[in-house]
Chain A
Amino acid sequence: MVDSIYIESAVASQARTQDIARRYPKATLIEIERYGEVFNSHSQNFRIQKQNPSLILAAKQNKKVMPTPAQYETGGGAHYYFSHMLNCVYDCRYCFLQGMLRSASYLVFVNYDDFLDEIREIAEQHKDEAKPTWFFSGYDCDSLAYEPVTGFAEHFVPAFKDIPNAVLELRTKSTQVRSLLKQTAQDNVVVAYSLSPKRVAQEVELGAPSLAKRIEALAKLQEHGWRIGLRFDPIIWHQDYLADYAEMIEGVFSQLDAERIDSLTIGGFRLPKGFYKTMHKLHPDHWLFSAGLSEQEGMVTYSSEIESQVLTSVGELCEPHISVDKIFAYSSFEEPAL
């Protein structure tokens, strides 16, 4: 439950702002000029705020859609990402947002149509390319976890019907799929789930739905005709990791039709050094930040031996189930593991 809602005066009268605010009738409403007045100031503490985040409703100014890093692709053409929201209702220990932001408030940009205008413009620039242009949502938030409040997917997914050379990928751990199940599946929308073995999810993906619930949601979406993706990223190295990932992979492929899985990505735990230092300070007692990591060229990652071992072995566990050309490995080091 949100106790306090900060609202930029410029969006206060917008219907979406009012709809969202109405969901929290007991919250204190505080009008602000710009979200920067309350979000991410230097003396704020992410860990403390995470115990009771506020909600901020604002308009995203300037550039709204950005190119993804070159390595992050799943077989399409140009790749972009956008964030209608910063921060997440879940509390995953490995989440880079803790290292990037000092504020844990949910910052929702309500000017959805401005995002869509920019997406359309970019898609138009790529209209003559053979492969579609990908737009990823869910880097700086979970795409679906706050769906009942934001109505994000309900608004964006139908809009992509009219952008045929674009693909929207919704990254999520959420089981909030009701709005997708109410719609007819679209060819140019992929719902990609981050999955971790049961024990890992229980230990480091706090507040997120269990592995079983996520697989159940994936199965429902697949049955309804939606394209789905699997993200084993980050793979968390631990004793018995191989057995844990094997169990998860068996479970996943026993319940999903591998032929109709769009892509599967795997990657090791990796963070920019500055983010790692901040996160380790926030969680000095967590084993995740103490085990097997080393620093190189401004990144903190598993050592090359460990990363290569986990990417290769988890990749090999997947290979019997899914075509190799659908598996994408993100290595922190020069040579990809697969």
Chain B
Amino acid sequence: MCALNCEAKPWVDHFGLKKQCDKPFWRYSKEGADIEIVVSGIGSLAMATAVGWAGAFFERPRVWLNLGIAGHADMMIGKICRVHSVINANDLRKHYPPLTAKWPGDSSAIATVNAPTNSYPQGAMIDMESHAFFQAASTFSPAELVQSIKVISDNQEQSFEHLNAAKITALMTPHVAIVNEFMQTLIGLLPQREIEHSWANLLTARCTHSQRQQLNALLKKASVLDLQNEVGALGLKPSTPINVLLERLQGMLAKSAPRIDRGNV
């Protein structure tokens, strides 16, 4: 998630992403790629709305990364920093993103403000979207997978007025590799996928939604315990009455002691 197209451009180019739409937000992706980039526009409301819009495309948790520029009183322009805490300057609410994914560079606090300013807080970066980004994205994914990386664009020596799109892109471009590496680390933290089993045909049995969930849960357990033969021996069919299906599976699972020497973890 970026506020500006010029912040996103180095990654759009690097991954060869194509613009999929420009309303309500610019969205870049390409077929077969795991990554997509959404450009929200400036400010908290725009960022929260864009995250909500982008989040609706996927059911499963995924990594959310906010990339953008930030100001800081005395950090060198071009320096890259991970956000380790964020404060909303309006209501002083704080958020601490869990720092589970390793990041090789520096980290800093950030304050999110409503409008561009040359008044820099001591010991923290300053931007206009981070707090909203964390709040919104954490509703879609575990907080450990929601992170923000900022590149210093202005400081007390050189205010934000000197910035333009080309300069911003130039500030972001040197950091493509380190950010991509961080993204891979975050992707490596994604929770494991659901257990699958090979008895999907039994789920077509005539039953209520709740019974189907129970049946699916029992079949997953049978799969985890490697009970293919035992389930087969029960002779279950989709036409078997659901209460019989459930009872037989429960009975079988209740008696099936796991074998711990077969490397099934």
Please determine whether B257 and A44 come into contact, CB atoms closer than 8 angstroms.
no
Please determine whether A28 and B107 come into contact, CB atoms closer than 8 angstroms.
yes
From 235 to 256 in chain B, residues with beta carbon under 8 angstroms from any chain A beta carbon are 253-256
- For the complex, would chain B's binding face be called helix, strand, loop or mixed by DSSP majority? loop
Closest chain-B Cβ to A106's Cβ sits at a distance in Å of 13
Q: Let me know if B122 is at the binding interface, CB within 8 A.
A: no
Please determine whether B258 and A239 come into contact, CB atoms closer than 8 angstroms.
yes
Closest chain-A Cβ to B222's Cβ sits at a distance in Å of 8
From 283 to 300 in chain A, residues with beta carbon under 8 angstroms from any chain B beta carbon are 284-288, 290-292, 294
Please determine whether B260 and A287 come into contact, CB atoms closer than 8 angstroms.
yes
Please determine whether A294 and B96 come into contact, CB atoms closer than 8 angstroms.
no
Q: How many residues of B contact A (CB 8 A)?
A: 39
Across the interface, which residues of B come within 8 angstroms of A53, CB to CB? Answer: 100
Please determine whether B143 and A41 come into contact, CB atoms closer than 8 angstroms.
yes
Across the interface, which residues of B come within 8 angstroms of A43, CB to CB? Answer: 138-139, 142-143, 146
Interface-central residue, B99, B138, B139, B194, by most chain A CB under 10 Å: B99
Please determine whether B256 and A291 come into contact, CB atoms closer than 8 angstroms.
yes
Q: How far is the CA of A183 from the CA of B191 in the complex (A)?
A: 45
Q: Let me know if B84 is at the binding interface, CB within 8 A.
A: yes
Interface-central residue, A28, A49, A54, A287, by most chain B CB under 10 Å: A287
Q: Let me know if B220 is at the binding interface, CB within 8 A.
A: yes
Q: How far is the CA of A129 from the CA of B99 in the complex (A)?
A: 49
Nearest-neighbor residue (CB-CB) of B257 within chain A: A239
Q: Let me know if B157 is at the binding interface, CB within 8 A.
A: no
Across the interface, which residues of A come within 8 angstroms of B221, CB to CB? Answer: 290-291
Q: How many residues of A contact B (CB 8 A)?
A: 41
Q: How far is the CA of A30 from the CA of B84 in the complex (A)?
A: 8
Across the interface, which residues of B come within 8 angstroms of A288, CB to CB? Answer: 258
Nearest-neighbor residue (CB-CB) of A241 within chain B: B257
Q: How far is the CA of A239 from the CA of B101 in the complex (A)?
A: 38
Q: How far is the CA of A31 from the CA of B265 in the complex (A)?
A: 39
Across the interface, which residues of A come within 8 angstroms of B94, CB to CB? Answer: 37
Please determine whether B84 and A291 come into contact, CB atoms closer than 8 angstroms.
no
Contact with B along A259-275 (1 / 0, CB 8 A): 00000000000000000
Closest chain-B Cβ to A246's Cβ sits at a distance in Å of 16
Q: Let me know if B189 is at the binding interface, CB within 8 A.
A: yes
Please determine whether A287 and B264 come into contact, CB atoms closer than 8 angstroms.
yes
Q: Let me know if B192 is at the binding interface, CB within 8 A.
A: yes
Closest chain-B Cβ to A301's Cβ sits at a distance in Å of 12
Across the interface, which residues of A come within 8 angstroms of B101, CB to CB? Answer: 52
Please determine whether B98 and A49 come into contact, CB atoms closer than 8 angstroms.
yes
Across the interface, which residues of B come within 8 angstroms of A49, CB to CB? Answer: 98, 100, 144
Nearest-neighbor residue (CB-CB) of B186 within chain A: A48
Interface, chain A (partner B; CB < 8 A):
3-4, 6, 28, 30, 32, 37-38, 41, 43-45, 47-49, 51-54, 93, 103, 105, 199-200, 203-204, 237-239, 241, 282, 284-288, 290-292, 294, 303
